[in-house]
A and B are shown apart, each in its own frame.
Chain A
Amino acid sequence: ETGVTQSPTHLIKTRGQQVTLRCSSQSGHNTVSWYQQALGQGPQFIFQYYREEENGRGNFPPRFSGLQFPNYSSELNVNALELDDSALYLCASSLDDTQYFGPGTRLTVL
């Protein structure tokens, strides 16, 4: 176990809705990264937060946004859901090079 938890485990939404996914990092880890993993593919970097500020962003549109809180928790928000947003969403916390991944949230958009 990595000590990184995510909720919910599974989620079903319809196109156009909004969703919030949550992550609880390991205590003391000041960096959290979010990744999208489509079925049968490698994870793709969405963005990273360091000490509650966005520190880097991958090739994802602005409707993907996030927050990091002082208690080592974070959120990924996705607005105007599209069918292609169906994927496993992973968060990873880190203090140095090593990123520790949570089990992910499986999002299905109908």
Chain B
Amino acid sequence: QQQVKQSPQSLIVQKGGISIINCAYENTAFDYFPWYQQFPGKGPALLIAIRPDVSEKKEGRFTISFNKSAKQFSLHIMDSQPGDSATYFCAASGAGNMLTFGGGTRLMVKP
């Protein structure tokens, strides 16, 4: 079954803290795992993506950790800022690049 489960549904973090969002997938044919950020009234924007041949990828304050055996991956946002307040989606795809999205996490960073 092509499903991606995301948690938590909502998250409140203090400014400067670490935001952690987790995702789990079932389809072992998935080989591309992006994270998207979406602000109200906007389309999703790619933040960072990873392939299963590496266990971690870091871009600025954003890090993806990937556990292939557990079929889980997570997004860490270091030094979270109020401007990071948005909805975050994990996604996965295999051949053909047809994305299956998680349900989303609404992040609020308090000043």
Q: Tell me which residues across on chain B come within 8 A of A58, comparing CB atoms.
A: 98
Give A77 Cβ to nearest chain B Cβ, in Å: 19
- Interface stretch, picked from B13-21, B59-67, B72-80, B100-108, is B100-108
Q: Tell me which residues across on chain B come within 8 A of A92, comparing CB atoms.
A: 43, 99
Cβ-defined contact, A41 with B104, below 8 A: yes
Cβ-defined contact, B44 with A31, below 8 A: no
Nearest B residue (CB) for A50? B96
Alpha-carbon distance A99/B41, docked complex (angstroms) = 18
Is B69 located at the chain interface by the 8 A CB criterion? no
Contact of B43 among A40, A94, A102 (CB under 8 A): A102
Total residue contacts A-B, CB cutoff 8 A: 62
Nearest A residue (CB) for B6? A42
Given contacts A42-B89, A56-B96, contact A101 B101 (CB under 8 A): no
Alpha-carbon distance A40/B6, docked complex (angstroms) = 13
Alpha-carbon distance A43/B92, docked complex (angstroms) = 12
Please give the number of chain B residues whose Cβ is less than 8 angstroms from any Cβ of chain A in the complex: 23
Residue among A31, A45, A94, A102 with most chain B CB within 10 A: A45
Given contacts A55-B96, A97-B32, A97-B49, contact A44 B101 (CB under 8 A): yes
Is B54 located at the chain interface by the 8 A CB criterion? no
Alpha-carbon distance A104/B103, docked complex (angstroms) = 18
Can you show 22 pairs from A to B with CB atoms below 8 A apart?
A2-B43, A33-B97, A33-B99, A35-B99, A40-B104, A41-B103, A41-B104, A42-B91, A42-B101, A42-B102, A45-B100, A58-B98, A92-B43, A92-B99, A97-B32, A98-B34, A99-B46, A99-B97, A101-B36, A101-B43, A102-B43, A104-B42
8 nearest CB pairs, A to B: A42-B101, A101-B43, A103-B43, A101-B44, A56-B98, A43-B101, A45-B98, A56-B96
